[in-house]
């Protein structure tokens, strides 16, 4: 496909638009993971975390059609996302106080969290990107490359907002918990049951979001009192 061909350009536009729509999740995850790092490392974590997440997403898109057909994969991904959301909402005392863990260890831990969380949250999203690319991986790579500066900028902006509006942390953790619930409900092993019990899907969303956010708030309150 020629780079100036109408099909190429229309496919590229569709992928860029999809990336922009999905960039909010990326930016929130990256900002939450980097918020406890020293200021000098925050921008570095945002940049390298974004690039790592983009690389993983390209690789996932290349095999997504096969991956998403594996029974239990989405269910497992949703389960793994829950402790990630909890950890982002309730960083360990050593991380938040700076004792027991040096800045370099925190940096690599944040980087690992960013890449893993984005990969898991992107499992279902990359299906749309794979469809828009019509099988051309070059389209995916170009589209994601265009969206990288926007994700980095969004993450940096959210980091500044978190300092003024701590509730953003709970919104981000809730979004991850919500994504985990939807992944579980859409897994091949459970999709038929949830399709016949639509109310259960919404109940699962509520339970997971309230469990993560409510439990995190109680932990923070207990920690503040102690």
Sign, CA dihedral 77-26-91-110, equals positive
Share of residues in the chain with pLDDT > 70 (%) = 68
pLDDT tens for each residue of 197-208: 999 999 999 999
Split at pLDDT 50, 70, 90, the class of 125 is low
Measured CA to CA, the distance from residue 148 to residue 129 in angstroms comes to 15
State residue 33's pLDDT score.
84
Split at pLDDT 50, 70, 90, the class of 210 is very high
pTM of the model: 0.68
- Nearest CA among 2, 3, 11 for reference residue 131: 11
pLDDT tens for each residue of 184-199: 888 888 989 999 999 9
Split at pLDDT 50, 70, 90, the class of 65 is low
State residue 188's pLDDT score.
84
First-to-last CA distance in the chain? Answer: 63
- Nearest CA among 16, 224, 22 for reference residue 139: 16
State residue 98's pLDDT score.
44
Count of beta carbons in the 10 Å neighbourhood of residue 196: 8
Using the predicted structure, report yes or no on whether residue 5 has a pLDDT greater than 90: no
State residue 202's pLDDT score.
92
């Amino acid at each position: 496909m020629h780079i100036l061909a109408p099909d190429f350009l229309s496919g590229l536009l569709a992928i860029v638009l999809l990336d922009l729509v999905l960039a909010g999740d990326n930016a929130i995850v990256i900002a939450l993971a980097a918020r406890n790092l020293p200021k000098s490392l925050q921008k570095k974590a945002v940049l390298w975390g974004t690039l790592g997440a983009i690389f993983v997403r390209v690789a996932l898109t290349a095999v997504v059609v096969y991956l998403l057909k594996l029974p239990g994969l989405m269910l497992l991904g949703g389960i793994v996302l829950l402790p990630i959301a909890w950890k982002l909402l309730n960083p360990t005392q050593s991380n938040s106080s700076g004792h027991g863990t040096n800045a370099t260890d925190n940096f690599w831990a944040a980087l690992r969290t960013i890449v893993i969380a984005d990969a898991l949250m992107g499992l279902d999203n990359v299906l749309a990107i794979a469809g828009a690319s019509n099988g051309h991986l070059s389209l995916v790579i170009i589209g994601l490359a265009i969206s990288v500066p926007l994700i980095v900028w969004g993450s940096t902006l959210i980091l500044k907002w978190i300092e003024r509006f701590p509730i953003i942390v709970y919104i981000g953790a809730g979004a991850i918990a919500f994504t985990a619930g939807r992944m579980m409900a859409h897994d091949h092993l459970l999709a038929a049951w949830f399709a016949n019990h639509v109310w259960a899907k919404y109940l699962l969303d509520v339970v997971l979001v309230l469990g993560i956010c409510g439990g995190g708030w109680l932990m923070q309150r207990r920690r503040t009192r102690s």
